[in-house]
Amino acid sequence: MREEERILEGKLFKPGHPDLKAIKLRTHNLNNDYNATYEHETEKRAEILRQIVGSMGEGSFIQGPIHFHYGVHTHIGKRFFGNFNLTVQDDAPVTIGDDCNFGPNVTIVTPIHPMVASERRTMLDADGNPAHVCYARPVTIGDDCWLGANVVVCSGVTIGNGCVIGAGSVVTKDIPDNSFAAGVPCRVIRPITEEDSMKYKPDIADGYRPVEDEFI
């Protein structure tokens, strides 16, 4: 079994294997290429992103700098906005839905290292060869999610549709649809309801109104 197949099946794998190092080296170099561009170089940026990620929907924009680990394991939906310093350590697959917005310094991590210190240093493979190993769990973020500044999404987490994750949160467990969640560790504070509409905040809306007078 190839090391990348082991990742996708949730098994221990060797991050230092030459095949995996080649993927990461290519992506890390492309990250540097992207981060060296100017913001107005939209076509150049789009072409670099197409080489980095597995897929990205139309109308998406990433401010930069960016830090993808594998890149090819990340799939981003339509009209995504990622602010400064987006970091995606996508050993396992990362899926981001349509119409999501990320604040500055959002980090998504999928790998997990053994808890026992000696196993983090070295384990023996099936043939008795010593190796540094870890494993990974996928992250899924639904449609219409807003992640505030400095949010960390940990391995194996699913965030449902229509969620808001408060700034500085560390998401270690699944978050159900239409939830406002925050904290370290992140927990659901309350559901998001029609009462959260800006139409009930006229002093802030200052003449703006919802496109559709109906809630999610």
Please say if the pLDDT value at position 25 is more than 80: yes
pLDDT, position 214: 52
Which amino acid, one-letter code, is at 66? Answer: I
Mean pLDDT of all residues in 71-77? 98
Give per-residue pLDDT as tens, 130-150.
Answer: 999 999 999 999 999 999 999
Residue 105: the pLDDT is 98
- Give me the half-sphere count of Cα atoms (radius 13 Å) on the Cβ side of residue 17: 19
- In the chain, the percentage of residues whose pLDDT exceeds 70 is 98
- Look up residue 42 and give its two tokens: 């939209």
- Residue 60 pLDDT: 97
Closest CA to 104 of 73, 140, 143, 148: 148
17, 28, 73, 113: the active-site residue: 113
Task: Read off the pLDDT band of 213 (50, 70, 90).
Answer: low
Query: Cα separation of 29 and 10, whole Å?
Result: 27
pLDDT at 1 exceeding the cut of 80: no
* Tokens of residue 53, six digits: 């990620």
| For residue 78, pLDDT beyond 70 | yes
User: Chain-wide mean pLDDT for the chain?
Assistant: 95
Residue 118's pLDDT band (cuts 50, 70, 90): very high
Under the banding of pLDDT at 50, 70 and 90, the label for residue 211 is confident
- Please confirm whether the linkage preceding 93 is cis (ω < 30° from 0): no
DSSP string covering the chain: --HHHHHHTT--B-TTSHHHHHHHHHHHHHHHHHHTS-TT-HHHHHHHHHHHSSEE-TT-EE-S-EEESSSTTEEE-TT-EE-SSEEEE-SS-EEE-TT-EE-TT-EEE-EE--SSHHHHH-EE-TTS-EE--BEE--EEE-SS-EE-TT-EE-TT-EE-TT-EE-TT-EE-S-B-TTEEEETTTTEEEEE--GGGSGGG-HHHHTT---SSSS--
- State the pairing for strand pair 139-141/158-159: parallel
The predicted-structure confidence for 160-197, as pLDDT tens digits, reads as follows: 999 999 999 999 999 999 999 999 999 999 999 999 99
**Domains, the chain:** 3-205 (2.160.10.10)
Radius of gyration of the chain (CA): 19
Angle between helices 18-35 and 42-52 (to 10 degrees): 170
On whether the CB atoms of residues 109 and 152 are closer than 8 A, the answer is: yes
Annotated catalytic, 113? yes
pLDDT attached to residue 37: 98
- Residue 110 amino acid letter: T
Residue 50 predicted with pLDDT over 60: yes
